[in-house]
Structure 1
Amino acid sequence: MSAANKGKSREKPMASLCAGAIAGGFESFATYPLESLKTRLQFGALEGGKPLTPLQALRETLNQGGTRALYAGCTAVVIGNAVKAGVRFTTYDQFKSLLKDDEGKLTAPRSMLAGLGAGMMEAIIAVTPSETIKTKMIDDSKRAQPRFHGMSDAVRTIVREEGISGVYRGLGPVILRQGANSAVRFSSYSTLKQLAQGSVVPGSQLPGWMTFGIGATAGVITVYSTMPFDVVKTRMQSLKARQEYRNSLHCAYRIFTEEGVLRFWKGTVPRLGRLILSGGIIFTVYEKTYPLFDSIF
């Protein structure tokens, strides 16, 4: 990831953690409305109504609760994404350093393996709790009388009614999604970055616009290859999940048999928009802030 270190030298964990946390927090707040719309679209059939387009979902959300409804669960995601990105970049950089060859190069398969490990770590440590809370808060915000009054109240209510497992609902699909996400995103980004570096002066950093474009392209590839995991994850973290599904496989089976295979790509448009921006923002912010923290630590 970082252009600061070459060869077999290992990136500094604290620098990776701080730069990743800043990049993740900034990116999640900037793109949250698209994440909120994606989640609402994925609930779809659970409401028993006609499937909405992204524009219809946006209008309905704003009519029901205004901008506040569009940002329901945002705090949990910003905090979770800051921790997630810090964990992701730290573990990826360490795995990457271990997997480089003697010339300091990282092949695409090894980059994918490092990304897979980073994604699984972030899923367990940060993503599942923050995603579960966010999903339940978005689901709750659609009620005429929402039960949750902020993130802390949502956490207390979920833990009181479902136990600690309530905030780890959907752990299996989250691990699959995050592992696949990071494996595809990092390997795509690494491969595209190596190709782009041939067009700049050796040893110099890529310009910000080029980093943004490479990250955005990696985001597009990631969305289409991992969308089914994301749909199952959202359904398993809904307020009705315990009544509707026995486990993640049962959830996937019901979606496939009752709603059709295309339902696994429901919410692709807002998620695509979010991950294009996300990929561009997070890689650009990380690449620009890592050297600062590298010099501090």
Structure 2
Amino acid sequence: MVPKSGANDSKTPPIVSLISGGVAGGIEAAASYPFEFAKTRVQLRSQKGIPTPRNPFLVVSQVYRQEGIRALYKGCGALVVGSIAKDGVRFLFFDSIKNAFADPETGTLSPLRNLLAGMTAGVVASIIAVTPTERIKTALIDDARTEKRFRSGLHATRIIYQENGIIGLYRGLAGTTLKQASATAFRMGTYNTLKDFEVARDIPQTTATNFVNGAVAGTVTTLCTQPFDVIKTRSQSAKGTSTVEAVKSVLIDYGVRGFWRGTTMRLGRTVFSGGILFTSYEAVAAILNPMFVKVHHKLDIDA
């Protein structure tokens, strides 16, 4: 049986997955950061007598008026660096798993295998890159509204390490890993299931198609994983706390509904960022794939 046109006839080289994912992650993080900033502010414990608005635009406008435009990008550098590493690793592992277990005739994975591949990629990314960079980003955002001890991402990293060692930088590892495993499973699993469905029916993979698929994947991801995101944020505040203590604090402050606090803000970001992430990845991969195919072909000839 001949594979359908557009199926995964040629496997994506690991270096292409790594570079494309890293570039896409950096673009997505920088473009959508104000939403991430607002979402994080809402999930952190409110200061006494100063309730945090639930509307993301009110949060952004309030911070802009009181602290200036630079405050909206507090922690952005840490997130961009982390996203480059995170998405490079996520796409590398996901594509590697997909290449290994895809149907040899169609080049696709079943929906369940798509989810499992995404989950594995999320766990690896959390341990290698996400937890420490998210810790710094969250600590910077929290510190900016309270003690204002941290001058920059590097300064925050040094202070946290001096005070708590490597454990301080990995505060919230359990919550972050749960979030990343589930988020990557749903985001990449949903996107690739939609893509495989379209390819099997010869639906052209255009920029618009990639963006819509990414936006749908972002929506599914947010609704399914929001509690893990809230727990992670509480764990990684400026002072830091354990995952169990974070869960207790959310229940004390807001009850069970508190685990979905910031959903609207995160949804606004993930719909937008999901479209950007996968569109950027496909665009960069489309440029790099032919280059590496030529190099690989030349090496085969020389050999």
The 3-state SS of whatever aligns with 2:74 is: coil
1:136 pairs with one of 110, 125, 139: 139
Query: Shift of residue 294 of structure 1?
Result: 2.0
Q: Does 1:76 align with 2:110?
A: no
Unmatched segments (≥5 aa) in structure 2? 293-303
How many equivalent residue pairs?
Answer: 286
Change (3 A) 1:91 1:112: same
The 3-state SS of whatever aligns with 2:51 is: coil
Distance 2:71 2:52 in 1: 19
Distance 1:261 1:15 in 2: 42
Distance 1:169 1:241 in 2: 6
The 3-state SS of whatever aligns with 2:205 is: coil
Distance 2:20 2:175 in 1: 27
Residues 21-45 of structure 1: CA deviation (Å, up to 9, x unaligned): 1100011000001000000000144
Distance 1:15 1:102 in 2: 21
In structure 2, what is the equivalent of residue 11 of structure 1? 12
In structure 2, what is the equivalent of residue 274 of structure 1? 269
In structure 1, what is the equivalent of residue 216 of structure 2? 217
Distance 2:104 2:64 in 1: 55
Change (3 A) 1:190 1:47: farther
1:63 pairs with one of 62, 65, 73: 65
Distance 2:171 2:79 in 1: 16
Distance 1:257 1:66 in 2: 32
Residues 96-121 of structure 1: CA deviation (Å, up to 9, x unaligned): 11221332321000010100000001
Contact residue 6 and residue 202 of structure 2 kept, 8 A: no
Aligned residue type for 1:72: K
Aligned residue type for 1:43: L
Query: Shift of residue 71 of structure 1?
Result: 0.2
Contact residue 191 and residue 217 of structure 2 kept, 8 A: yes
Q: Does 1:125 align with 2:128?
A: yes
Query: Shift of residue 217 of structure 1?
Result: 0.6
Distance 1:221 1:123 in 2: 20
Distance 1:269 1:254 in 2: 21
Distance 2:160 2:27 in 1: 27
In structure 1, what is the equivalent of residue 232 of structure 2? 233
In structure 2, what is the equivalent of residue 43 of structure 1? 44
Q: Does 1:196 align with 2:193?
A: no
Give the TM-score, by structure 2 length. 0.89
Change (3 A) 1:11 1:47: farther
In structure 2, what is the equivalent of residue 265 of structure 1? 260
Give the TM-score, by structure 1 length. 0.90
Identical residues among aligned pairs (%): 41
Query: Shift of residue 296 of structure 1?
Result: 2.8
Contact residue 7 and residue 200 of structure 2 kept, 8 A: no
Aligned residue type for 2:63: T
In structure 2, what is the equivalent of residue 256 of structure 1? 251
Distance 1:47 1:272 in 2: 27
Distance 2:43 2:156 in 1: 21
- 1:141-180 equivalences under 5 Å are 141-143=144-146, 146-180=148-182
Query: Shift of residue 160 of structure 1?
Result: 1.2
- 1:16-35 equivalences under 5 Å are 16-35=17-36
Unmatched segments (≥5 aa) in structure 1? none
In structure 1, what is the equivalent of residue 283 of structure 2? 288
Change (3 A) 1:194 1:102: closer
Question: Alpha carbon RMSD of aligned pairs, Å?
Answer: 1.9
